Homo-oligomer: A and B are copies of this chain.
Amino acid sequence: MQLHNTSQYAIRVLNFIANHSDDRLYSAKELSEILNIPYKFLTKIMGILVKTGFISSIQGREGGYELNTPASEIKLIDILNTFNDETDNESCVLGIGICDSVNKCALHDQWMEPKSLMRKMFEETTLNNLTCKDCKL
């Protein structure tokens, strides 16, 4: 029960860029070193984030990445969805198709509350709320 590495990496990178947007551009090489993410894997993820529109890339020497939209508009759930980290509200925790109040699995009732809270958190948290000066990178 945990997020995919790609989702974790993407959140950390986007958060870092959001917190340093005034600053200057950061390259994949720098991000890889600062965030301790394998360089080649990071560039692959950055490519996806560019294609899906989260960020823009500035190519060539002195290049790097910048957010396309304000940090306050980037929800964690959108990042998770990009990397197939389903938080689908209806899918059954025991894997038996769709779960709802009339068609329950054995764990449905107990799962409701933690699931809702978790989903709410990923839906309502933006890169903006995440900003945190003394945090691990």
Contacts of A129 in B (CB 8 A): 110
A130 to B107 Cα, complex, angstroms? 6
Question: In residues 103-137 of chain A, which contact B (Cβ within 8 Å)?
Answer: 103-108, 110-111, 113-114, 117-118, 121, 125, 129-132, 134-137
A108 to B, closest residue via Cβ: B135
Q: Which of A93, A96, A106 neighbours the largest number of chain B CB atoms within 10 Å of its CB?
A: A106
Are B1 and A107 touching (Cβ within 8 A)? no
Question: In residues 60-113 of chain A, which contact B (Cβ within 8 Å)?
Answer: 76, 80, 85-87, 91-97, 99, 103-108, 110-111, 113
Are A135 and B106 touching (Cβ within 8 A)? yes
A2 within 8 A of B: yes
A82 to B38 Cα, complex, angstroms? 30
A105 to chain B, nearest CB (A): 5
Contacts of A15 in B (CB 8 A): 106
Binds B, one of A4-12, A25-33, A40-48, A49-57: A4-12
A2 to B110 Cα, complex, angstroms? 15
A3 within 8 A of B: yes
Q: A2-B93, A106-B131 are in contact. List 15 more A-B contacts (CB 8 A).
A: A1-B2, A8-B93, A8-B95, A12-B94, A12-B96, A12-B106, A76-B107, A92-B136, A94-B136, A97-B136, A103-B136, A107-B125, A108-B135, A113-B121, A114-B117
